[in-house]
């Protein structure tokens, strides 16, 4: 097993220095020696075997269990070096033993089968964790999605405010409009659309924790009559809306259900209605969910290629009226989250345990690395029943941002 991993790492052509100390206490160096350095120690032969056979989830699980430790560097540095060497053409098997991705691809529709009962269980697995955990790294409004960095030096808080404003501009919001927020989180976006832009908002979530906090925040902000939150699957929502917004929820739909999702959205939109979907996506072809993420973080989740999204939109009868790709915005968001989490890591250990803290640390670092050095981006897709509902130029987005940037207020922070 040592020889297999040695040959694999040696032919990757890594940039930087990766030192690996094996269970027999032998240390070998890989890479061109220029730039970053990471030194890991693999403590057991069992961990080495798991890493060789299935690096994902073998590597993160070994780190979670304490069987892989950092002598020098950290998770994000290690991933930067490893990703620097993955230069093979898409689809080429570079695995030292065999590729399990082909099998995962064949099984992905099973993994992403998300009927209503399973969807709720998947959501609760992640979002019904202790409220205190999210306080460790999110902004006070609890925006748990990609921020919008208009300038590289803005704070996470300002970038999240800019994200909400940017979305409101793409929705062409006007006071009094009926807005459906699919996957409303802890209520921050819905409350902002109500308070700052005069919308009548209905937010739907499958998380008990998110529902409780959203309703409390609405009441405390005096917006309970303007922002309503319900524990309900979007497939069960009735009525019609002027606007629909969905931020960070499409990743939980599953490829089997794309037609159902867009078909329901079309049903819920008024004839002149507009929808904005903000989702993580990939610039490459359709793929699979990383095994570590699917097993520990987001069961049932999947990050789509744009081609998968567009095919389902076409069949639904909706019109795509605008697509924006946010390239490194989520990398910067995740960097801020990771740094804040690491600054309060001891609190996460006290809240759960060391293994959980290692898991969450790896999750944040791996996510940042995927946006910074792999093919993950964020798509903002604007949709309409009638394509003429949208102005013929994009000037309205910029005008909206500038008009509201100076006077946008703030909703009471989540506590």
User: Which pLDDT score, from 0 to 100, does residue 107 have?
Assistant: 47
Comparing 4-8, 138-142, 282-286, the range with the smallest average pLDDT is 4-8
Average pLDDT over residues 166-195: 97
**Model confidence at 405, in pLDDT bands (50, 70, 90)?**
confident
What pLDDT does 95 receive? 41
**Separation of alpha carbons 248 and 295, rounded Å:** 19
**Arithmetic mean of pLDDT, 29-35:** 94
Q: Which residue has the higher pLDDT, 291 or 144?
A: 144
> 403 vs 144, which has greater pLDDT?
144
- pLDDT value, residue 134: 94
What pLDDT was estimated at residue 148?
A: 97
| pLDDT at residue 287, as a whole number | 87
What was the pLDDT predicted at 116? 64
Average pLDDT, whole number, for the chain? 89
Give the per-residue pLDDT at 85: 84
Percentage of the chain beyond pLDDT 90 is 76
Q: Which residue has the higher pLDDT, 410 or 228?
A: 228
The answer on pLDDT for 123 being more than 80 is no
Within the chain, what is the greatest distance between any pair of CA atoms? 69
Share of the chain above pLDDT 70, in %: 87
Tokens of 312: 């389902």
pTM of the predicted model as reported, rounded to 2 decimal places: 0.90
For 58-114, how does the pLDDT look when each residue is reduced to its tens digit (9 = 90+)? 999 999 999 999 999 999 999 999 999 864 433 334 344 345 555 454 444 555 545
The residue-averaged pLDDT of 124-143 equals: 85
Residues linked to residue 173 through DSSP beta bridges, in sequence order:
none
**Greater pLDDT, 77 or 2:** 77
Q: Hey, what are 151's tokens?
A: 């300038």
For residue range 361-390, list pLDDT tens digits in order.
999 999 999 999 999 999 999 999 999 999
Contact between 229 and 215 (Cβ < 8 Å): yes
Give the model's pLDDT for residue 98. 41
Q: Is the pLDDT of residue 127 over 90?
A: no
* Tens-digit pLDDT profile for residues 264-301: 999 999 999 999 999 999 999 998 888 899 889 988 88
């Amino acid at each position: 097993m040592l020889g297999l991993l040695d040959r694999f790492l040696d032919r990757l052509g890594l940039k930087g220095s990766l030192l690996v100390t094996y269970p027999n206490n032998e240390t070998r160096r890989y890479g061109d020696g220029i730039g970053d350095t990471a030194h890991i120690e693999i403590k057991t032969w069992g961990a080495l075997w798991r890493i060789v056979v299935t690096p994902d989830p073998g590597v993160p699980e070994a780190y979670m269990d304490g069987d892989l430790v950092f002598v020098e560097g950290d998770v994000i540095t290690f991933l930067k070096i490893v990703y620097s060497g993955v230069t093979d053409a898409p689809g080429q098997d570079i695995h030292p033993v065999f590729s399990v991705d082909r099998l995962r691809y064949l099984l992905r529709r099973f993994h992403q089968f998300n009927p209503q009962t399973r969807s709720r269980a998947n959501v609760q697995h992640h979002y019904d964790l202790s409220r205190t955990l999210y306080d460790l790294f999110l902004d006070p409004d609890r925006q748990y999605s990609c921020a919008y960095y208009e300038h590289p030096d803005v704070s996470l808080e300002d970038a999240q405010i800019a994200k909400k404003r940017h979305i409101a501009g793409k929705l062409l919001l006007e006071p009094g409009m009926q807005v459906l927020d699919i996957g409303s989180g802890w209520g921050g976006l819905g409350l902002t659309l109500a308070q700052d832009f005069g919308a009548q908002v209905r937010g739907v979530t499958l998380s008990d924790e998110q529902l409780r906090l959203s309703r409390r925040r609405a009441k405390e902000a005096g917006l309970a009559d303007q922002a309503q939150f319900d524990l309900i699957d979007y497939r069960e929502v009735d009525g019609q809306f002027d606007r629909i917004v969905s931020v960070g929820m499409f990743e939980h739909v599953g490829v089997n259900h794309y037609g159902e999702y867009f078909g329901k959205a079309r049903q819920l939109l008024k004839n002149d209605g507009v929808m904005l979907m903000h989702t993580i996506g990939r610039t490459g072809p359709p793929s699979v969910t990383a095994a570590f993420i699917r097993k520990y973080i987001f069961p049932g989740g999947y990050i789509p290629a744009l081609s998968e999204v567009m095919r389902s939109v076409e069949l639904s009868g909706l019109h795509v009226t605008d697509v924006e790709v946010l390239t490194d915005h989520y990398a910067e968001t995740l960097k801020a989250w990771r740094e804040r989490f690491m600054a309060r890591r001891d609190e996460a250990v006290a809240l759960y345990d060391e293994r959980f803290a290692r898991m969450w640390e790896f999750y944040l670092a791996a996510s940042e690395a995927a946006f910074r050095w792999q093919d993950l981006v964020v798509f903002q897709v604007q949709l309409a029943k009638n394509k003429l509902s949208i102005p013929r130029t994009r000037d309205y987005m910029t005008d909206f941002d500038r008009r509201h940037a100076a006077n946008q207020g703030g909703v009471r922070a989540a506590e």
